């Protein structure tokens, strides 16, 4: 019987991603569909997911824009 290797990285869903970056869910969904967020779908289908560390890196890279998103 083979062992299944699972990723040790934590993932979060699109609603949590939207909250972290300070935009509404619909905006995050649009950005995910446009390829603007570091997200993926498990097995290429289903709901958008992201590794928490990738979202944190995205926020750090775009922190000036994120501040503008939160204040508008």
| CB 48 within 8 Å of CB 39 | yes
How much is the pLDDT for 9? 86
The burial of 13, by beta-carbon neighbours within 10 Å (0-12 exposed, 13-18 middle, 19 or more buried), is given as middle
Domains of the chain: 11-71 (1.10.1660)
For residue 62, the Cα-to-chain-centroid distance in whole angstroms is 13
Burial of residue 39, with CB atoms counted within 10 A of its CB: 0-12 exposed, 13-18 middle, 19 or more buried: buried
pTM for the whole thing?
A: 0.74
Is the predicted pLDDT of residue 72 greater than 80, yes or no?
Answer: no
Per-residue pLDDT of 22-41, as tens digits, reads 899 999 999 999 999 999 99
Going by pLDDT thresholds of 50, 70 and 90, the confidence category of residue 45 is: confident
């Amino acid at each position: 019987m083979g062992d299944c290797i699972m990723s040790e990285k934590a993932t979060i869903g699109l609603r949590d991603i939207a909250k972290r970056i300070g935009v509404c869910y619909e905006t995050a969904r649009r950005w995910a569909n446009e390829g603007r967020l570091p997200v993926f779908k498990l097995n290429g289908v289903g709901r958008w997911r992201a590794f928490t560390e990738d979202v944190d890196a995205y926020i750090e890279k775009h922190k000036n824009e994120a501040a503008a998103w939160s204040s508008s």
